[in-house]
Each structure stands twice: as C-alpha cells, then as structure tokens.
Structure 1
Amino acid sequence: MSIRSPSPDSEIPDPETALRLERFLPYRLNVVGSYASRALGRIYSARFGIGIPEWRVIAQLGEFGRMTSRDIGEITQMHKTKVSRAVGELEKRGLVSRSENREDRRESFVALTGPGARIYADIVPLALAFEARWTEGLAAEELRVFERVLSMLTERGRHLAGAYHEGEP
C-alpha cells in the first residue's frame, strides 16, 4: 500500500485536529468486524456453501425460531434487500420455508427446515470455536470489561443512528 503525499495545492491538516482513521474508533470497529465476517464467511462458504448474509439469517432463525424478514434485518442490521436475497437463496436450497403472516399479508414468516436446523447445529460449535480462538490470550476480566464497553457502545450507536436518522446533530 502506498501513501500519497498531499498535492501542493492542498493544505496540510493540523496534526492535532486531523482525523486519523487508524485511531478513529468507528473505523476501527468496522475493520475488526470486517475481519471477523470475512474469516467466518470463508468457513461457512467452504463448509456449507453459504455466504455471510445467509449464515446470519440461519443464525437468527436458529436462535429465535420463526421470524419475519423485517425482524431478521432489524436484529442483524442488514438491509431488507440483502435479507430478502438471502432468504430466497436459502429457500431455494430447502434450508428455510416461508409461511403466511395472517395478521399482515404483506410479509411472511421464515423458519428453518430440518436441513437448515442441521446446518445451524453444525454452525454453532464452529462459531463458538472461532470466538474462542479470536479471544485467546485475553484474561477473563479483560473480556468482561470489553463486553461491557461493547454493550455501551452498541447502545450509544443505536441511539446516535436514530438521532441522525431523525435529523438531530
């Protein structure tokens, strides 16, 4: 990777006020999440022939049971078109089924089929082993503090995302 120098016409930012991505927490969280998703994605692709959106759908259905696509998207923070494509692919493969929502006919419920539930059962130990390997070498107290901080940042992020969505600064 090459780092370009600023053009002669541009101002050099003040080091005290410059945004340094490598130290900017939202960017760093995104990078860490991207590494985790890519590593897990390779595992699930090689073992089950599914991508990241599909395994997220399977994981949510395995944990919570029958859900709407809207609920899956809300929990996983995936866009509705991505959820829809993932559900469609999983349904084509016989891993999920859809049933009518009698209270709201615009949406349907999605549930794991027998083969989908078996994949979920295979995914769980792989995911937990990956998590253990990812956090290997961290003390139990460090993990507890990290979990607490991560929960706080998640809640603040949820609040800020809603505030910015509503037009607040």
Structure 2
Amino acid sequence: MSADDGESALELDSYLPYRLSVASNAVSGLIARAYQDRFGLSIPQWRLICVLAEYRELTQGQVVARTVMDKVTVSRAAQGLLNRHLVGRSDHQADGRSHVLALTPQGARLYAEIAPLALAYEAALISGLAPEEVTLLKRLLSRLQSAAGALAGEIEPPSLDYGPEPT
C-alpha cells in the first residue's frame, strides 16, 4: 500500500501503538537506570516489591495477574529478591503446590527508601501537564489497556467500520 494508490500509508511516528511503546520504553529506561544504579534492582524486581508492599502477601500467580508480567519473569524476579533476603516465601495454606511471597523487613525498608524516588520521577514526568490532563491520560491509558485485552482474544483483526462514506 502506498500513498499514491489513495490509501493512507502507515507512518510510524504517528502510529499510536509505536508512540506508546517508545514513551513507555523512555520512561521505564529512565527509572530502571535509577533503580539499577542505586539499588541493584531490575524493573520486574521493583514491580514485585511494589505489589507486595501494596498487597502484603501474594502468590506468584497473583503477582502475574496484578503486574501483567509473565510467570517466568515473576519467578526470576522473586528468586533474585529471595537471594537478597528482600522477599520471603512461605507455603500457601490452602494450596500446597503454591507459595506466598511477602516483603521481609529489609525489603520493606528498601521500598520505603525507593517509593519517594519513584513518586518524584512521576511528579517530574507529569510536571508539564495540568491535573485534569493527568486524570484524562490515566483514564485513556486504562481504556486502551482494556481494549487491547479485549482484542487479544480475537482471532481476526477487527473491522474498522466508521460508518457510511460521506457523499
């Protein structure tokens, strides 16, 4: 397909999925460097620490669901944090095949040290936006995530029917 045949050409810089990916990579990379350099944490490890700080105890399956990271990534992050004694693992009382993860006191102290830094990065990133723009951005990102989840279950690409052609 080319612009010469009357069809719209895909322009990468204006393609929303690409722009979202580039923005996400830029933000994640910036913050990941700070976590890695100062605290020796990968992004998955930081996410695991955050979710455990919020929910106290979770199985690895619950971490997968809450963080949208895959099982292998969660398992590797958990193992690294277990080795550093930042996370503890105990048997799940209801399911003998599962384990429960929780922050250790050392992990909780690390979280308390990093959380203000994370919030400062967020504040710096959104400083050029009005509060209502931040609210709208969060709402739109949530809607895009929901739409992507819905589309992931589809076998064929959706029909992009915008109604009848103008006459």
- For structure 2, the 5+ residue unaligned runs are 158-167
Partner residue, 2:136? 145
Is 1:38 aligned with 2:26? no
136-145 vs 111-120, which deviates more?
A: 136-145
1:104-153 deviation line (CA, Å, top 9, x unaligned): 22221000000000111112111110001001111122222212212211
C-alpha separation in 2, matches of 1:81 and 1:108 = 15
Secondary structure of the residue that 2:132 maps to in structure 1?
helix
Q: Which range is displaced more, 127-136 or 27-36?
A: 27-36
Q: Distance in 2 between matches of 1:79 and 1:43?
A: 23
Who is 1:75 aligned against? 66
CA distance in 1, matches of 2:65, 2:21: 18
User: What is the CA RMSD across the aligned residues, in angstroms?
Assistant: 1.4
Work out whether 1:14 is the aligned partner of 2:2. Answer: yes
Corresponding residue for residue 64 of structure 1: 55
Partners of 2:96 and 2:21 in 1: CA distance? 36
Task: Give the CA deviation at 1:87.
Answer: 0.2
Q: Which runs of 4+ in 1 moved over 6 A?
A: none
Identity %: 44
* Residue identity matched to 2:41: I
Residue aligning to 1:8:
none
Q: Which has the larger displacement, 139-148 or 86-95?
A: 139-148
Tell me the TM-score normalised to structure 1 length: 0.85
Q: Secondary structure at the match of 1:58?
A: helix
**Are positions 1:84 and 2:75 aligned together?**
yes
The equivalent of 2:161 in structure 1 is none
TM-score by length of 2: 0.86
How many angstroms does 1:93 deviate by? Answer: 0.3
